[in-house]
Structure formats: C-alpha cells, structure tokens
Amino acid sequence: MMARMWGKWIDCRVRPGARAAFAAGQRRWAAIADQPGLVGQVGGWSPADGRALVLGLWADEPAYERFMGERHDAVAETAAQRDTWTAIRVAAGPVVQTVPISLPDALEHAELLRVADCLLRPGRADHFLDVQREVWSPGMAAAGGLLAGTVTRLAADRYLVTTLWSSAEAHAAYTAEVFPGLRARADVPADVETLTGHVLPLEPSWRVLGPGPALSWRAAGDAPPRSRPTS
C-alpha cells in the first residue's frame, strides 16, 4: 500500500491587539518551503471569532515526524508567536479520503477553505465515510470552483473535512444552490454528534508550498481515490 498523506490542524486564540504580530510570525513559516515531504500549508482568520486557523498537509507521517523532531522548534522560535496567543490546539492524523487531483496546485491557487470539524457518534465512522463518497462526492462534482478536498482522521471519532475553493463567489454559489440538498440527503445528525464549521478566506502571505515533486501517495485503502469529500 502506498503511504498515507498526513494532515495537521492548528487552532490559535490570538490575544487582543496581537493580530499583526501573529501574522508577521506566521509569514516566517515560509522558511519550511524546502522541507522534504511538505505538500503545503494554508491558513487565515476566522471571520466568526478572529481565531487563526492553519491546515498543513504532508506526504506521510514519517516526513511530518522528521520535521517535528529536527526543525519545528527552531522555526517556531524564529516565528516568535508564543506571546501572541492565549491558547493553541493542534491535532494531526492520516488523510483517509481525498480528491484525486493535484493538491499542490489547489493549495497554490485556492482563495477559500471550508472546514467541518466533526465529532462522530460512536460506531458511525464507516457510514460517515460512505456518505462522504456516495452523497457528497457526486454532488460536489457538479459544483464549480472546488479545487480539492481531504478528510483527515484526527482521533478515533473525530474527522476534519476540508475543501479548497477557487473563490468566495464559487463557494457562495455552492452553499446557496447545492449544499442544502446534499445535507438533507446525507442526514448529517445520524452520524455527527457535534460539528464546528469554518469558512476561511486564505491569507496569501501565510501560504507555504512544499518543494515537490508530484506525490505518489494514496489515501488510506487499496482502492484508487474517487471521492470529493465535503461537509
């Protein structure tokens, strides 16, 4: 089996008045662009509450662990963000579904990130993932502007569903015209106990693209990737 891509989700509560300092530090993470195994990293400010949110994608867990063990702390010290936030939550895990297109290209060109942080009801993970494939995938295929998507397992019953969009306008059209029908068909409450959603305009200066070349990974499982996950 090919390697499983690895996802990382960072949620920072930034101190009042420290937003500019945090953003300046976030731009310093551009130093990891040459890190072997980095697919890319994007992030921005939550319009709802001002949180800083960052999604990182790695070719596999060993590449991520090498970075964490050998380089992360030095780059974090240079970024000097520790005094800018009051709380930080970090979670990471394997990507279990993905859109079978170029994620590096999507990370480079996306203007908006939609996120559904889902805590599932016990025993509902298999059904939840089936719904991602069988309901959301065909529906999303008809929605213009979707560039890529991933489903990352952050814990036994916690899944992070992310989609990258070409523009806020394309995402707004999907939300108004396509999403309500898909959500009704998916019967989200049957699988999901709690859901925290974000619609995140991406900060161009926070974007970090990995060194390439094209990846040879596959999402978990032996079948070729075939889903366009969303939620």
**Rounded distance between C-alpha atoms, residue 117 and residue 200, angstroms:** 13
Task: Describe the chain by its helix, strand, coil percentages, rounded to 5.
Answer: 35, 35, 30
Nearest to residue 8, comparing CAs of 77, 63, 48, 81? Answer: 63
- Residue range 6-209 forms a domain whose CATH class is alpha beta
Nearest to residue 228, comparing CAs of 149, 161, 130, 168? Answer: 149
**Rounded distance between C-alpha atoms, residue 54 and residue 26, angstroms:** 10
| pLDDT 10s digits, 39-89 | 999 999 999 999 999 999 999 999 999 999 999 999 999 999 999 999 999
How would residue 103 be classed by pLDDT, with cut points 50, 70 and 90? Answer: confident
Instruction: Looking at 110-223, list the stretches that DSSP marks H as alpha helix, in order from N- to C-terminal side.
Output: 125-131, 137-141, 168-177, 179-186, 188-191
The percent of residues in the chain predicted with pLDDT above 90, rounded, is: 78
Per-domain boundaries in the chain: 6-209
**Rounded distance between C-alpha atoms, residue 127 and residue 159, angstroms:** 13
Residue 222 near residue 96, CB atoms below 8 Å: no
212-224 as b/e: b if 16+ CB within 10 A: eeebebbbbeeee
